[in-house]
Amino acid sequence: MSNSYCMATVEPTIPSQLLTELDKQVFKLLGATIEEHDGECYIFFTDGVWLLLDNYMDEELSEYAVTDEDKEFVKSIIENDYSVQEILQVILNRPNINTRTFTVMGSFTCDKMRPGEFGGWVSLVSADNILTESTHSMLAKMKEVI
């Protein structure tokens, strides 16, 4: 039996003051590690990326939802099954953020060298759009050109 893995990074780093404690908890429940250095938060996933939040996480997040806006945010992400990319998009739509896009890059690996078990993906997140492409789909597009 083999083990498959998914790791991902979020770039650029996010200024610490732009992430609320609720944001940090949401990312952690999605499987993220957040490292804070020099006023910046680096978000990465080393043990898989949970694509969706489950309903039970509502209880875990409620203690961090202090304002009515926070409570509405928690309700919305649970009811609409927000992904990591969609959470980043919410952050991009907040006032006082100078970043125009976030990039989420992920890799798929396996501890056995079998065909089809390796690859990756990238998402480009803006305030209005989320574009995602896998290495497999990029390769298929390249083959159409050659």
Residue 26, burial from CB neighbour count under 10 angstroms (0-12, 13-18, 19+): buried
Convert the pLDDT of each residue in 8-57 to its tens digit: 999 999 999 889 899 998 898 888 999 999 999 999 998 766 655 555 56
DSSP for 117-137 reads S-EEEEEEEESS-EEEEEHHH
Q: How far apart are the first and last CA of the chain?
A: 36
DSSP 8-state assignment for residue 111: S
DSSP states of 13-59: EEEGGGS-HHHHHHHHHTT-EEEEETTEEEEEESS----S--TTHHH
How much is the pTM?
A: 0.84
Give residue-wise pLDDT tens across range 69-115: 888 888 887 777 788 899 999 999 988 888 899 999 999 888 887 77
Output the pLDDT for position 72.
Answer: 85
By residue range, what is the domain housing residue 67? 4-145
Q: How far apart are CA 94 and CA 85, in angstroms?
A: 15
Q: What is the total count of domains within the chain? A: 1
Do the bridges between strand 130-134 and strand 119-126 make them parallel or antiparallel, or are there none, so unpaired? antiparallel
- Of the candidates 47, 39, 35, 82, the residue with the CA atom closest to the CA atom of residue 61: 82
